[in-house]
Amino acid sequence: MKQAVDKLLRVAMTVGAVLIVGACDLRRSAVLDPKGPIALAQRDLLFDAFFVMMLVVVPVIVLTLVFAWRYRASNTAAVYRPKWAESARVDAFVWLVPALIVIAVGVLVWRSTHKLDPYRPIDAAVPPLEVQVVAQDWKWLFIYPEQGIAVVNQLAFPSGRPVSLRITSDTVMNSFYVPQLAGQIYAMAGMQTRLHLLADQPGKFVGRNSMYSGDGFSNQHFEVVAMTQADFDAWVAKAKQAPAKLDATTYTALAAKSQLNPITYYSAVEPRLFDSIIAKYTHAHHAPAAGTPAGTAPRR
């Protein structure tokens, strides 16, 4: 019986080890497989925070094992001194080490907060591509004001060129997230948030809403495509050939609740549509003056 139990335990440990190793596959963890400088900096911050925490966790685990072994019942040579008043070494260890860790974490958070500010533009030799993003039930609308087109559930841009996103919601709060390119930021009705991202090379990625928003939440994904400049120009030309145009009537129909929407192109967009979507949730009930960011969310 004991042999059978030991064999079952070994099998269970082997299976557990295989599952743990399989979970470490970077292809299954988008956060650990960045494809742009913003996502890379966020991954490095994750690792830095992990190692700082290990400065606390590892010594505690090691000391727990050492104490348990040293003061085991069978070790009669260990000196047991339950009565003592002061210890400068213990006090120094208990107070100085946590203080140093808190200082290290504070410096790390301060530097990273400014470095990874989602509103901070990416330094580059080329100007950013402006894209306006609208969260709907349960899909994403991307408006390209410079190109005069719009696309549902697909965000395309040239690799190596920064992308500046203006994000809002025409429904409940959503969270815009492309794990391999940038961190998440909320999309809120009547407000505008900003996010900048950049892809180092051409590729396809998955974007999603990372905040529960109702029945269609699990299907609210969108395709992200980084391509060469030539391919992007061809993509824009393809979108301009689409028969559909995004005017007020078309937008009202698009904003209705729906799931698993296919990628849809609009060859023209009603002027200031993005601003009007924000304005309808504000008291003014009209789009802001040109050059004024409508409903800009307060930065914290």
Residue among 193, 13, 44 nearest 112 (CA): 44
**Helix (H) or strand (E) segment spanning residue 141:** strand 139-144
78 φ, ψ (degrees, to nearest 5): -70, 135
Residue 40: Cβ within 10 Å count = 15
pLDDT of the residue at 192: 96
pLDDT of the residue at 30: 81
pLDDT of the residue at 270: 95
Residues with Cβ within 8 Å of 280's Cβ and at least 6 positions away in sequence, in order, are 190
And the tokens for 169? Answer: 């919601």
Whole-prediction pTM value?
A: 0.78
Distance of CA 181 to the CA centre of its chain: 8
Residues in the chain predicted with pLDDT less than 70, given as ranges, are 1-28, 283-300
CATH number for the region 129-279 comes to 2.60.40.420
pLDDT of the residue at 130: 97
pLDDT of the residue at 236: 97
pLDDT of the residue at 88: 85
pLDDT of the residue at 91: 85
